[in-house]
Amino acid sequence: MIVDILHMDLHRWLRQPRSGNAYRASGGRDLKLKMTPEAARLDHRQMLRFMALNAAVGVLIGICVGAALILLDIGGLGARIGRAANPAVPVLLVVVPIASLFGAAAAASAILMMPYEKKFRDDEDDARGE
């Protein structure tokens, strides 16, 4: 008897109308509110801050990896830079690409894992321009 009741509740839940990620009540009314322009600005600032922080951490890790390559003399790189007439150029040619690569990878992963959801709008609302 309990199994039948749970089964009926599951079927009723599965038949309920939905729109994107938003649940629509049986009356067809949206439970989400529209985002105000100020709330949207604040939300965009938070997203950009989140991405910039992740990119900066990635660049810092890239600088550490480049410095470790030179200091640990991986492949004789540190010895070659030590014998160079102008060691700043080879150091920059090693560290800058690695730092930018790590920073870009961290920013890309931040975009993929961004803790952002369409908080107040529906996909259908965006398509209709409301």
pLDDT digits (tens, 9 = 90+) for 15-50: 666 554 444 444 545 445 577 888 888 888 888 898
pLDDT at 130 over 70: no
The pLDDT assigned to 36 comes to: 82
Q: Which of the pair, 7 or 113, is modelled with greater confidence?
A: 113
C-alpha–C-alpha distance, residues 98 and 105, integer Å = 11
Give residues with Cβ within 8 angstroms of 100, minimum separation 6.
59, 62
pLDDT digits (tens, 9 = 90+) for 83-113: 999 999 999 999 999 999 999 999 999 888 8
11 closest CA partner among 3, 19, 1? 3
| pTM given for the model | 0.62
